[in-house]
Amino acid sequence: MSERAPFLVGYLDNETNQSDLPPSSDVVIIGGGLLGTSLAYYLSKSGVETVLIERDDINREASGTNAGSFHFQIALHQLTPNMSESEKRRLADEVRLQVDAASLWDEIEQELDADLGVHFDGGIMVAESDDEMRVLKEKDVIEKEAGLESHILTGDEMRAFAPYLAPDLAGISFCPREGHANSLLVGPTYAYRAWQNGALFRTGCDVTRIERVSGGGDLKGKRFRVITSRGVIECNRVVNATGAWAAELSAQLGLHIPLGLSGLHVNVTEPREYFLKSMIQHIGRRLTLKQTHNNTFIIGGGWPSREEKFPKRYSNTWSSTTGNLAVALRVLPMLADVKLLRTWSGVWAYTKDFKPILGESEKVPGYHIAMVPTGFTLGPMVAQMLSQYMTAAPGKGKLPTEFNIDREVA
């Protein structure tokens, strides 16, 4: 790891960032979260002319507020109350996608030549009750079938393996592949490397409208006019990577994107001597818990935060704080005297069928969307897939049909 991450952050020197929008570009990416920045990286690496436009600073929304977990095991939020055969198939598909993402994360620090706090020290999923234990076993079967290694441990075996856990838990599954990374650094590092590849960035630049240029369809002439708070730029292809805000711009083009939004709560504590290598999750309750390489504990797992009117950030609630911490304490009692330092929240966007929305619209050719619910885990990988699609010879690019952006989701 040659450069220490803090030095990567000169990623956009102020002068370039503050200068005017270029009049045109082949691709304009809207949104500087992980999806936008990693796509800018992969496209620029292939020599595609790319301008990324972000209304705030890079990585300030979901991509810089998430808990940084790699969700490779099937987690609580993917489950349905009763698992039918088709549910199981859906889950197996999701696991396969997650396994693919793992290989990208294996190599990301090398690819970007930076320390991103990537840990692959495994993930523990705990079950408190017999019911939860049953789910754990069911999911274990699906995971194994999909090619993800995991182990079920109970009783003394569990206690010997993870002596720090509450001894009376019903059991755990352990997935050696799981891990986490520093979400504050991944997006900006992609941006920095993309910028080195020649991609242009403009922050503090709010896209207010996307217009189709009439007589479009001619690949040489530009098909879109993107209107921003800092001027207008024309382009051949637009990628909407605005996460939780993806529906608004799409609606201007007559496209309906079925997004659900939810504010999520995260806690961080003071540092303690490093001991917890594995990430911990709960199969029946909302919990993710990990010790970072700065020795603090990050505790999250999907507790809600309170909606606020943009641009105010969603606020944290007392009940989510104390509820989330109680689940953490139930699983890891030794946290009792560790001090909570701060909470924060971010807006999480998900699709109703929980699949990515990825690709080019058939209704509006040239218009692309890049969005995925577990976007920290899967973001870079789906961005890479989209980049491959966009750099393939015309008509040759392929993306999974179930990601189709024109699909109807109830």
Ligand X SMILES: Cc1cc2nc3c(=O)[nH]c(=O)nc-3n(C[C@H](O)[C@H](O)[C@H](O)COP(=O)(O)OP(=O)(O)OC[C@H]3O[C@@H](n4cnc5c(N)ncnc54)[C@H](O)[C@@H]3O)c2cc1C
Contact positions vs ligand X (CB under 6 A): 30-36, 53-56, 60-63, 65-69, 71, 206-207, 241-245, 264, 266, 288, 300, 346-348, 371, 373-377, 379
Q: Is 310 exposed, middle or buried (0-12, 13-18, 19+ CB in 10 A)?
A: exposed
Q: Does 81 bind other proteins (CB under 8 A)?
A: yes
Task: Map residues 134-173 to x or -, x wherever contact with other proteins holds by CB under 8 A.
Answer: ----------------------------------------
CB of 318 to other proteins, least distance (A): 5
Q: Which residue reads 């995260």 in tokens?
A: 266
CB of 339 to ligand X, least distance (A): 15
Binding at 379: pick from ligand X, other proteins, none (beta carbon under 5-8 Å per type) = ligand X
Tokens read off for 148? 């993800």
CB of 84 to ligand X, least distance (A): 25
Q: Does 80 bind other proteins (CB under 8 A)?
A: yes
Q: Does 340 bind other proteins (CB under 8 A)?
A: yes
CB within 8 Å of 185: residues ≥ 6 apart? 5, 8, 114, 115, 116, 117
Residues 355, 258: contact at Cβ < 8 Å?
no
Tokens read off for 37? 């920045």
CB of 262 to ligand X, least distance (A): 8
Task: Map residues 4-23 to x or -, x wherever contact with other proteins holds by CB under 8 A.
Answer: -xxx-xxxxxx--x------
Binding at 34: pick from ligand X, other proteins, none (beta carbon under 5-8 Å per type) = ligand X
Binding test (CB under 8 A) with other proteins, winner from 329, 389, 406, 407? 329
Complete edge-to-edge strand list for the sheet that includes strand 151-153: 151-153, 171-175, 123-127, 279-282, 288-291, 297-300, 259-269
Alpha carbon 281 to its chain's center: 17
Residues 277, 407: contact at Cβ < 8 Å?
no
Alpha carbon 69 to its chain's center: 9
- Closer of 81 and 163 to other proteins (Cβ): 81
End-to-end CA distance of the chain: 46
Using CB under 8 A as the binding rule, the residues of this chain from 260 to 319 that contact other proteins are 269-270, 285-286, 294, 302-304, 312-313, 316-319
